[in-house]
Every structure is written in structure tokens, then in C-alpha cells.
Amino acid sequence: MYRYDEHDATIIRERVAQFHDQVARRLSGEISENEFKPLRLQNGLYMQLHAYMLRVAVPYGWLSSAQLHRLAHVARTWDKGYGHLSTRQNVQYNWPALEDVPKILAALAEVEMHAVQTSGNCIRNTTSDHFAGVAREELEDPRPYCELIRQWSTFHPEFAALPRKFKIAVTGSPRDRAAVQIHDIGIRIVENEAGERGFEILVGGGLGRTPRIARSIRDFLPKADLLSYLEAILRVYNEQGRRDNKYKARIKILVDALGVDAFREAVEAEWAEIKDGAMKLTDEELARVAKHFEPPAYESLEGGDALLAGKKLSPNRRFAAWLESNVEPHKVPGYAAVVITVKSPGRPPGDITADHMDAVAELAERFGFGEIVITHRQNLCIPDVRIDQLEALWAELDALALGEANYFRATDIIACPGLDYCSLANARSIPVAQRLTERLHKLERLEGVGELTINISGCINACGHHHVGNIGVLGIDKQGEEFYQLMLGGSSAEDASLGKILGPAIPSDEIVDAVDRVLDAYLSLRNDGERFLDCVRRVGTRSFKERVYV
């Protein structure tokens, strides 16, 4: 993984010292909240309902075990003993005291971490596939390009005050686990007819009030031109994006307003001016970054796929189910990638205790190469585990109550903080996720239903990505009462689509029954082996509506 050079280390150290001073001035009353707010936001510090919230950047979700141990230490020392995994593959702390935040940032800087650009109208943490570098079907590891984007966008002076926040995702695999089509810029590594590697560039995806699937503006961009082309897109957006209305300020609105062809022309015209300048990526520069992502020292192992298939016949049904749902084929024979779902009954989705962070970090050292990835669905992944050690790993995870077999199953729920924490919320998300998990967590039900995503947001801002859940749940406020709207048919994968509203909003105490009826409807409507999403697409929402609104 990428290691800081002296320049990175210095700039982050200086930033911590600067924020230390700003916090001291705020606490002494020398500066007002109005003056302090933009400063704290630049350092990832929000104000929520009960306390400050600090969002720590985890570039494309990748962590060393030392970094995860440090995150655990922060949770234990300065927060309430836990952290929250976000859909941007970051970590959030819900309870830090203001005077402790500089200490937290100093502790993080020691392990090459920070909270810069995790908030505000700037380019946020670039996200990626949690199986980057190991997915069998992957064309090329996207992490070096994510890292190049991180270096280009961090403290980029021209893009420090964009019309609105800006999110970029990169996938190197045709299977999209990075949700690139719902990003301001989505990047796919592709191969052209001449067999050269480059990028397809998509723009204008996003959720919120105006959900949009991103549109492709370039089928093939040579690797050397990645940063200059991104710069051209950002310049067009920075100049022409709306600043008069925050709900119309994202790039998707500009792409809508101009039309995708006119937007593309504007970008290409801007790019023509800069493409052969200093931002051209040389082979040496690409190699400099790529060397940080060289594969670890894999052993030569025999019998990979056959061994995994054999283990799936294990008489231990829970272990066999976990292999089926949480273990992904690896590009290196004899290895597998493992998802540790941080979703189980009674636990807020994505919340992980300091003890569990430490335990997972140790397991990553013992069973992997000391690396852990935070996934877009608020889980953790150990990307390189020997297949012959999967059972031993699962036994340890199971003893920690982290061995649930539910990755991409009905209880692998994305939920935003909702009204329990968020000042913008209309309704609670976490209790709905917990009630659904309580209802659906039995192995028979999970296995019976199979692949399914449920995403819950507490308001139209859609941080819980409800539009692209196979089942989306949106909290709304009806005269002070919590109601929930159901959507069916969304996806953030390569077959991305926006869910369709099923019918009138449902009161809080009926929403779990309603989702259960959606699943019963699916089981009665599906063809053999048909996924929930494919079933909804084939039969339409009406057949579901008839069975849900009884």
C-alpha cells in the first residue's frame, strides 16, 4: 500500500499543528462558530445531534493492521469505544470532544492518516473496489490510479471551493463493487480494440434529491491523460456549476442542463488546452505509484478452486454458508478474499467496537498480509487468505460474533445514521435496520432469499443509498410521525438502476412486515435461480405492490 514520503508527512504534521491552534482559539472564544465552522469542516469535523463527529479518511478503503489498531486506540481513548464504517470507505467517530480532536489527528498522523477533505465542497476520498488487486475478473488493479487521483486532488488550490462536494470512484473490474455509476465521476479501467489499457469516463451520477445514473463521456482515455482529463472536467464544473442553490449544485445538474454532448464538448475543449502540459503522466510516474501496490509474497499453492468447492460441502452449515456468501475467488491460486460483515442482530450497521478492530487487525496479520479494506457496504475485507486456512479464520471470527454469513444478503443492510445522530434526518434508519435484521437473520431465510441488498436513508439526501438498494427504504416525516417509502429494483453494480417507488409511505411499525411481504412476494414470483433484482425487473413492481399493500 502507499507509504507517505517526507513531503506527505510534513504537510499532515503541519496541518495538525494548524488545527490545534484553530481549536484553541475557538475554545477561548477568540473566533466564533461561524468563523470556525469552515475550518473544522476542512478537517472532517461535523456537528451532529449529540456531539461533534470526526470523519477520518481511509484512501480507497485500504488500511494496514497498524492503522486499524490505531483507529481502535482512538475509539477507546477519545471516543466511546467504537467507530463507524461509512459508505465512502471512511471511519467516523460520533463522540469526540473538541479539545481532543487535535490529539486524535496527531495520533492518526503518526500512522499516515488524516481527516483532510472528508467534508466540505472539495474532492472527497476516492473510493474503489474492496477486492482491488485480488479480484479474479479484474483487468487491472485500480489502486495506483486512485492514489494518483488522491495526490492530485489533495490540497488542489483550484478545487478547494467547488460549487458542491465531489466524489470519484474507480473500478478495474467489469463487476462493479465501487458503485461508479452513482458518482460525480466514475472511472472504469477498460481495454480498447488495440488491446491498450485506459479508462472509460462517466460523469454526473449521484443520488439525493435528483438521482442520476452517470453518463459516459469518453469510451477510452489513455492512461497518461487521466489527471489532465479530470482537471478539465473539474474546471468546467467549477466554472459553470450552480452556486446559487445547493440542491442544484452537483455536477449531475450541470450535465442535465447542458446535455451530455455539450458537456462533453466543453470538457474536450478545456482538455485540448492542457492535455500536453505538465499533467501528462509519464511511465516513470505511473511506475512510481504502482510500485506501492505490488502483490505481496504469495506462496505457490495447489488445488485452489477444488479445495474451496470441497469446503463448501462442510457439514458445518454456518461455515459452508459463510464460504458461499462471504468468500470471493482470488486471482492467485490457493487464496481467497474474505468479507467480514459488520452486520448482526442488535448492532447498528457498520459500527465496530475498538476490541473488534484490534481483533480483525490481528487476524489480518495472522491470516493475511496485514491489510484490511473497508467496503462500500460498510463491512471489512481481508483480501488475501489461504483457502486451507479459511475454516480456522472463520472459527475465530465466529467466536467474535463476526462470522455472519450475510454478505450481499438481506441483513447486509446499508443504513445512514438517520435521526439518531443526524441533524438533517426526517426519520430513524438504524432501528429499522435492526428490526429488519432481527426478523430476517435466520440462516434459512437468508439462504432462501439469496442475493439481495437493502439500503436505508433517513432523508432524501440519500446517504444510505436507498435509490440503488434492491430494496430501498426512505424515511419521511408525516406531521411529526416517522413513515417509510419503499423502492424496488435499484442497483449500484454494473447493471446500475434507480429503484421505483412501490406505493404510499408506510408507518414505522409496519415497515418490517412490509419488507417481509416483499420477500414473500419474490419467493412466489421468481423463476428458478432468479435473483431478487432480476425478478423485480422481469415482473415489474405492480405484482409486488399487490402483495405488499394487502
Residues at the interface with ligand SF4 (CB under 6 A) = 416-418, 422, 424-425, 457-459, 461-464
Min separation Cβ 398 and other proteins, Å: 18
CB-side exposure of 486: number of CA atoms within 13 Å?
A: 25
Helix, coil or strand: residue 497: strand
Q: Segment 461-490, which members bind other proteins (CB under 8 A)?
A: 480, 482
Counting contacts by CB under 8 A, is residue 347 touching other proteins? yes
Helix (H) or strand (E) holding 268: helix 260-274
Min separation Cβ 480 and other proteins, Å: 6
Q: Which does 82 bind (CB under 5 to 8 A by kind): ligand SF4, other proteins, none?
A: other proteins
Counting contacts by CB under 8 A, is residue 420 touching other proteins? yes
Q: Which residue has the cell 451530455?
A: 260
Q: Which does 47 bind (CB under 5 to 8 A by kind): other proteins, ligand SF4, none?
A: other proteins
Min separation Cβ 404 and ligand SF4, Å: 24
Q: For residues 457 and 465, what is the distance between their CA atoms, to the nearest angstrom?
A: 7
> CA separation (Å) from 9 to 41, 45, 169, 184, 430?
21, 21, 25, 29, 37
Q: What is the DSSP string of 71-133?
A: HHHHHHHHSSSEEEE-TTS-EEES---GGGHHHHHHHHHTTT-B-TTSSSSSB---EE-TTTT
Q: For residues 542 and 550, what is the distance between their CA atoms, to the nearest angstrom?
A: 13
For ligand SF4, the closer CB: 118 or 228 = 118
Q: Which does 529 bind (CB under 5 to 8 A by kind): ligand SF4, other proteins, none?
A: none
Q: How far, in whole angstroms, is CA 205 from its chain's centroid? A: 15
What distance, in Å, lies between the first and last C-alpha atoms of the chain?
A: 53
Closest CA to 121 of 14, 206, 246: 246
Counting contacts by CB under 8 A, is residue 421 touching other proteins? yes
Q: For residues 372 and 333, what is the distance between their CA atoms, to the nearest angstrom?
A: 20
Closest CA to 93 of 482, 417, 311, 440: 417
Min separation Cβ 458 and ligand SF4, Å: 3
For other proteins, the closer CB: 40 or 183 = 40
Counting contacts by CB under 8 A, is residue 29 touching other proteins? yes
For other proteins, the closer CB: 77 or 210 = 77
Counting contacts by CB under 8 A, is residue 419 touching other proteins? yes
Q: What is the DSSP string of 246-260?
A: GGG-SHHHHHHHH-H
Query: Among the candidate windows 78-86, 114-122, 230-238, 466-474, which touches other proteins by CB under 8 A?
Result: 78-86
Q: For residues 191 and 195, what is the distance between their CA atoms, to the nearest angstrom?
A: 5
Counting contacts by CB under 8 A, is residue 32 touching other proteins? yes
Per-residue contact track with other proteins, 97 to 136, x per CB under 8 A? xxx-------------------------------------
Min separation Cβ 456 and other proteins, Å: 13
Q: For residues 201 and 180, what is the distance between their CA atoms, to the nearest angstrom?
A: 10
Q: Which does 405 bind (CB under 5 to 8 A by kind): other proteins, ligand SF4, none?
A: none
For ligand SF4, the closer CB: 459 or 487 = 459
For other proteins, the closer CB: 131 or 484 = 484
Beta bridge partners of 6: none
Instruction: Determine which residue in the list 346, 527, 529, 550 makes contact with other proteins, applying CB under 8 A.
Output: 346
Are 422 and 458 in contact by the 8 Å Cβ rule? The answer is yes
Q: For residues 481 and 487, what is the distance between their CA atoms, to the nearest angstrom?
A: 20
For other proteins, the closer CB: 14 or 481 = 481
Counting contacts by CB under 8 A, is residue 509 touching other proteins? no
For 188-227, give one letter per residue: b (16+ CB within 10 A) or e: bbbeeeeeeebbbbbbbbbbbeebbbbbebbeebebbbbb
Counting contacts by CB under 8 A, is residue 423 touching other proteins? yes
For ligand SF4, the closer CB: 414 or 496 = 414
For ligand SF4, the closer CB: 348 or 417 = 417
Counting contacts by CB under 8 A, is residue 55 touching other proteins? no
Counting contacts by CB under 8 A, is residue 352 touching other proteins? yes
Binding site for other proteins (CB under 8 A): 26-29, 32-33, 47-52, 80-82, 97-99, 346-348, 351-353, 419-421, 423, 425, 428, 430-431, 434, 480, 482
